[in-house]
Structure 1
Amino acid sequence: MSKERKELQRARMFRYFLDAAAEVIEEDGIEHMTIRKIADRAGFTASTAYNYFKDLSHLKFFTAMRFTSAYLKELPSYMELGNNIVEKWLYSWECFCKHSFEQPEIYSVIFMDNLGSSPQKLFDDYYALHTQDLTGVPEELHSILMEYDFSKRSALYIQDAVTEGFIKEENVPLIADITLMVWKGMMNTYMNNRRGYSKDEAISRTLQLVTECVLNVVEPERRKDITFKR
């Protein structure tokens, strides 16, 4: 069998298993996924599934990525609301919070769970087979969205705020790391019901903290130009 035919077969088998896994998630929730349940639904054996996926976490990750399509579709329209790079970045956070707190188990699998292998490689493998997921997303965002490390993703985007005079270069990695930790902390709090936050309360509080973190590093003379409010 030629290399091209092998790749086509691999892509087809991936699709069979991911379709079956997506149905399991929609019916039972991602926490109830098992390799056997998915293989049975796809019409194959569990051993066949392991020929294409290293383990359950690998399959969960690939399937969870499918459920981020609504976020990717809405992201450009949210960012268009901003008048400068900092506002666009904050609106992108609003979009991310909206979708991640609506589907916390999905986004936890992608950005918080132990995947047992290189997350970036899984990201690359997924988008190699699903380039259509980025259809409609501005070209300049592709390389950012294909970066698995969320802190690095934020830093790549907010970097332009240095050129615009909003943030000093040395504060870019700091604000990228802090805002990621804010989201992770709130997601953990929300999922474990530690403070009894509703979804909307979790979103609002996360955005409040993210905005305050950003404003603390924005140059004083440029703060008046930030009108983002949540």
Structure 2
Amino acid sequence: MTKQGILYGVGVGPGDPELLTLKAVRLLQEADVIAAPDKGNGEQVALRIVDRWIQEKPLLSCPMPMTREQAVLDRCHDEVANSIGALLDQGKTVVFITLGDPTVYSTYLYLHRRILAMGYRAELVPGVPSFCAAAARLNVSLCEGSQRLMIVPASRTELTDCLEQDANLVFMKAGRELGTLRQALAEHGLMKRASMVADCGMPSEAVWEHLEDAPETSGYFTIVVVRQGENAT
């Protein structure tokens, strides 16, 4: 009887291959199949990060369209889960690679829940979150002492409640929303406390210690950090 395989959702960090964990590298090398998200735009950033460790391993491309239409997303997630399930039925070890950490705004979580609900084995393997890498690149702390930290998707419709909190703030995937975010920060007197990192750890990385100096537009992988208190500037 064929032994059922296992799925690992592996965080590969924000972009720098040297930020991969030892566990991630081991699982990549031991995997029978590598599953990678495909956003449909030809960009497979996660694959570029792990390329040196997967060599000629079989690749399962997983459609993950950039859309907010829930019906479309549900259909894609179901189809990918079924494809992975078929591999697990064959006793394969499948590693699904995902940027950053799989527990932080990760598309992989939708697959993880489906695989578990289907009765298969699945495990989460943490990776370096993009906002931690961005703070390190800025050479600043995210929180000290009793300070609080709030992680916010920049696509959030209403930002006022976040901006009024006594907490350091991280706005993730801020590229498309940069104009709206800058305006909101200016209205709350927080522009001078804000920094920005785009494409952290990638060849196209760009860093601005002061958001005021940054361009008006930026790419999808953009993080804005807003620090409160005496160490903010």
TM over 0.5: no
More helix by share: 1
| Greater length-normalized contact order (CA 8 Å, ≥ 6 residues apart) | 2
TM-score with structure 1 setting the length:
0.27
TM-score with structure 2 setting the length:
0.27
